[in-house]
Chain A
Amino acid sequence: MDYPDLTDEQLMTRLAMRDIRAFEALYDRYGTLVYSTALRVVGDTQLAEDIAQEVFLRIWRRPDHYVPERGRFVTWLLSVARNGAVDQIRTRGRRRRHETAGEDLERELPADEGQDPALMAQLGDERQKVRRALASLPLEQRRVIEMAYYGGYTQQEIAEMLSQPLGTVKTRIRLGMQKLRATLAPEIGGE
């Protein structure tokens, strides 16, 4: 059996039967993305590795936590990674310094084609669509969405950090998310 050719759901079925090769295949497919997601949130390589380890071992221990009817495996997996990372920084009181976020936003999102061929084959097109959708937002909308999702900040915290009225932050988040939903409708509908 060629494990890399199996779908995520097929690998999860085998993983539930304690098939370690299915677990290895899932790590090989998504290990980099899970780690990168955690790193984007916590900004600390050691902590990001700890989070990635916990995410994958959680899947190994409780594969039944993934319910296929609720959505795709990859988005569920990344949500687990993102939420785990946000929990960590909230628990530890560590916050990534987002004061430089504004400078980062002036640039295009860095291209990363060519990295991790297995992942690119699986999700390359979709990743580019999401990156383009995010990059197409007005900077002030993209900034607050990134601070909320990748930084784990509440609207109130964002308002204080940016010295903006809370209502302004709420509006930017709402408008930005509405645009993302519209731009990514095919991907969202594909869930």
Chain B
Amino acid sequence: MLEAYALGAVPPEEGAHIEEHLSDCLACWEHLSESQRAAALLALAVPLEEPCESLRQRIIAQARQESEPAIETTPRRWRLPRLVAVGATAVVLAAVGALSWSLVETRNLHSDYHDIQHQATANQQQVDLTRQLVSVLMRPDVQTQAMVASGIAAGASASYVWTRDGKLGAIVCHQGLPDLPKGKVYQLWVSCGQTPTNGGTFTAWQGQCQHLVVLECSRPAAVDVSVEPEGGSASPSSEIVLSASPSLPQ
């Protein structure tokens, strides 16, 4: 019966009984999972037929039309204090982009109520993050220090940016930070005392990154980035690929 369920060949009422049974049977879940993966492969066996050429044009045109209010491909010009120049521009663009994306996401929601609730929470978090990122970079007392790149990040250009009051910091990667394989993330470590503490995880996109951290001390002895498994580690488990020492004189 699970094989037929995997093929979608059981009516809804029988499907409901199967789902009820699955909730109590781990072995059945595994069996079904394998059957579903086998069934999914069947679509690879279809004879290939070329769609008409206009289909691609229609789909791309519709996607472009729907994305018009979202991020523009070419960067916008922003007037920022010279103090934060390149790094600030990258972060503000990313922040505004994230804000636009969250707004577009909100507009596109047609799912059920719970989906909307979940997305609304995520959007609000994104908006909050955007505000915080911008606040770091627009403040007159912002400090910046180039980070030393090594290992897989060798050649990357990145800065550590923080406010003089020591409350907020941000990692800004301008270019060259490589994408990581599936299941890996970059993780920030902030050393206010002897032991580095978790500063959160982030990923690279087109060689760039932006990551905000709430600081526990104004001038950490070290701000480091390592590569860790998705979800982050309790302590650095691989070599440091980006490093800054904000406590040293500028």
Once bound together, how far apart are the Cα atoms of A82 and B9, in whole Å?
Answer: 13
Which residues of chain A are within 8 angstroms of B60 by Cβ–Cβ distance?
Answer: 20, 23-24, 27
- The number of residues on chain A lying at the interface, defined by a beta carbon within 8 Å of a beta carbon of chain B, is 76
Which B residues, 99 to 114, have Cβ-Cβ distances below 8 Å to chain A? 101, 104, 108, 111
Which B residues, 78 to 102, have Cβ-Cβ distances below 8 Å to chain A? 97, 101
- Contact of B44 with A by CB under 8 A: yes
Smallest beta-carbon distance B154→chain A, Å: 20
Give the secondary structure class of A's interface.
helix
Which residues of chain A are within 8 angstroms of B39 by Cβ–Cβ distance?
Answer: 149, 177
Q: Which residue of B lies closest to A181 (CB)?
A: B38
- Contact of B56 with A by CB under 8 A: yes
Once bound together, how far apart are the Cα atoms of A177 and B7, in whole Å?
Answer: 9
Which A residues, 98 to 135, have Cβ-Cβ distances below 8 Å to chain B? 109-110, 112, 115-116, 119, 123, 126-127, 130-131, 134
The answer on a CB contact under 8 Å between A31 and B51 is: yes
CB 8 Å contact bits of B42-59 with A (1 = contact, 0 = none): 111111111110011011
The answer on a CB contact under 8 Å between A17 and B44 is: no
Once bound together, how far apart are the Cα atoms of A152 and B58, in whole Å?
Answer: 28
Which residues of chain A are within 8 angstroms of B128 by Cβ–Cβ distance?
Answer: none
Are A18 and B48 CB-contacts (below 8 A) given A56-B59, A174-B4, A184-B38?
Answer: no
Q: Which residue of B lies closest to A18 (CB)?
A: B70
The answer on a CB contact under 8 Å between A10 and B179 is: yes
Which residues of chain A are within 8 angstroms of B101 by Cβ–Cβ distance?
Answer: 17-18
Which A residues, 172 to 191, have Cβ-Cβ distances below 8 Å to chain B? 173-174, 176-178, 180-181, 184, 187-188, 191
- A to B CB contacts below 8 Å, 22 in the list: A9-B182, A35-B55, A37-B43, A52-B51, A53-B55, A62-B111, A71-B40, A74-B44, A75-B43, A76-B40, A116-B50, A119-B48, A134-B42, A149-B9, A155-B4, A156-B11, A170-B1, A173-B3, A177-B3, A177-B35, A177-B38, A187-B41
- Inter-chain pairs besides A60-B66, A178-B3, 15 sampled, C-beta below 8 Å: A10-B179, A17-B97, A17-B205, A18-B70, A32-B51, A39-B49, A53-B62, A126-B41, A130-B41, A150-B42, A173-B4, A177-B39, A180-B38, A181-B38, A188-B41
